[in-house]
Amino acid sequence: MQPDQRRKASAEVDFFTEYGEGSRYRIEEVVGKGSYGVVCSAHDTQTGEKVAIKKINDIFEHVSDATRILREIKLLRLLSHPDIVEIKHILLPPSRREFKDIYVVFELMESDLHQVIKANDDLTPEHYQFFLYQLLRGLKYIHTANVFHRDLKPKNILANADCKLKICDFGLARVAFNDTPIAIFWTDYVATRWYRAPELCGSFFSKYTPAIDIWSIGCIFAELLTGKPLFPGKNVVHQLDLMTDLLGTPSAEAIARVRNDKARRYLSTMRRKRPIPFSQKFPNADPLALRLLERMLAFEHKDRPTAEEALADPYFNGLAKVEREPSAQPVTKMEFEFERRRITKEEVRELIYREILEYHPKLLKEFLAGTESIGFMYPSAVDQFKKQFTYLEEHYKNGATVAPPGRQHASLPRPCVFYPDDRTQNSAEMTEDLSKCTIKAAEKSQPYKNGAIASAEAPFQVSQKTNGVTARPGRVVGSVLQYNGEDIALADAREVYDPQKTVRNSAGPPLHYNASSGCLYPRRNSTCKSARAEEGIERRKLAATAADGSPGDNW
């Protein structure tokens, strides 16, 4: 490798050191590149395994691409099978709401089936049989989960030197639920054209079935037998020409079921073609293999076998065993609710983050319990400041006076707010409401996740009356506090001056309760202060006069 090439490879490897967990993996070399990003082989220093790390760049640039990634990582988590590639780990992003790239750690496979077919011209009938058996066994598991892969091709089948195959790339896969039309809204552009079933090429049907994947497996198996693609069409029309050259012109009944007008007219006007015997097309193949291949490549989807039926074919006698061909539990609707509606970029980001937490059990447990680290999992004060600043910037530029978004009143406990109307509560309701405003003793002295220790003060309690003084309408009544070893309330007659305990009233300046006069007056008002001093002097004079027998009660 030239020095400049080494520098380029080193620069690509450095992309994998951005996340904190990256130190766990020792990157070895770049093994693949594409529009999605880069794949590197690496050594997991914790487990000692060799893995492949796939970095996917700017996943939220397009919502459709992000949805495809979400679909793939979710399906690979749910579909655990020896013939399906496994996600070992997904690195935790540094920020829940601002990450753009993700690092997915897969089990490392040496090559793919496309490279195997291209580089090996000495594959034996045993190779063909074992390869097809693994593909059908994995496909049976996928289909019993009500999942259609829809993009099976040699490049999406990983391979090892020990002839082990694994199906990958579920980005175009879909889940079909029993109570909804199967794939009625799916696009016709699924699967690479060369491996696309006839019903996809001509939009033959409004409903797709698992038979579209059986057709793709048949095309892959034929490519194994000959070393080259079976139907390398240049466009959809050419693709149909190649299919009918081998399989013959479809029957009139099959053509009548084609829903696409152009495709139906094209097939109707096509010259009559006779099918070519498979023994002529594949002269050196096992006759049992050709009989199964002919079943999988039936023009009409209803004539193709299911994966389970194909595994029971005589071609696999001595190899197939039902006990090592497991079925899957159907995927639940809840897992793929996002497929039923249009989702935003923020929603798909949240869903992908939730999938990442599946590989971080401790954080997932905290997430589900709602006790995760506040600074990381929820918007911090900085986030709130940014939101308010942006709001002000947008609304104040034209001289408008719009208040920035703040804490909503709905976030306050309902029974802690008193309203100006005359609604009444019975004692049972009041007791229940007040209990909701009390912090339980079990919550005291709990350490927070960031290492800070919670306050060990007495639980806060809310009172509707304080020494006979009813709270003002719309006012949140303060808590009972400790002062000099005594319990006092904010509106108590023994109240101690504290600027932080000022009660705000939207109708005027801050008010403070005067225990001696029984009224509310503006705090820190010099005029009122001097008036109160003069009032005290006058009262003392009157008291002295009354002691002398003067009519002091006339004041």
Residues that constitute the known binding site for ATP: 55
Binding residues: 55
End-to-end CA distance of the chain: 107
CA-wise closest residue to 491 among 473, 479, 483, 482: 479
- Please provide residue 43's backbone torsions phi and psi, each rounded to the nearest 5 degrees: -110, 125
In eight-state DSSP terms, residue 176 is -
CA-wise closest residue to 203 among 213, 215, 212: 212
CA-wise closest residue to 378 among 95, 100, 101: 95
Cα distance between residue 450 and residue 453, in whole Å:
9
Other CB atoms within a 10 A radius of the CB of residue 119 amount to 8
E strand or H helix that includes residue 541: helix 526-547
For 191: left if phi > 0, alpha if psi spans -120 to 50, otherwise beta; the answer is left
CA-wise closest residue to 137 among 331, 328, 332: 328
Which whole-number Å values give the CA distances from 364 to 337, 370, 377, 443, in the listed order? 20, 10, 11, 22
CA-wise closest residue to 332 among 527, 177, 483, 555: 177
Query: Degrees (nearest 5) of the Cα angle 346, 352, 357?
Result: 125
Residue 151 is among the residues annotated as catalytic for this protein: yes
Give Cβ neighbours of residue 441 (< 8 Å, ≥ 6 apart).
459
Give Cβ neighbours of residue 337 (< 8 Å, ≥ 6 apart).
none
- Catalytically annotated residue among 83, 151, 313, 492: 151
CB–CB of 479/460 below 8 Å? Answer: yes
Residue found under tokens 């753009």: 100
Half-sphere exposure of 2 (CA within 13 A, CB side): 3
Cα distance between residue 224 and residue 210, in whole Å:
22
Q: Where does residue 200 rank: exposed (0-12), middle (13-18), buried (19+ CB within 10 A)?
A: buried
Cα distance between residue 535 and residue 542, in whole Å:
11
Other CB atoms within a 10 A radius of the CB of residue 465 amount to 11
Catalytic center residues: 151
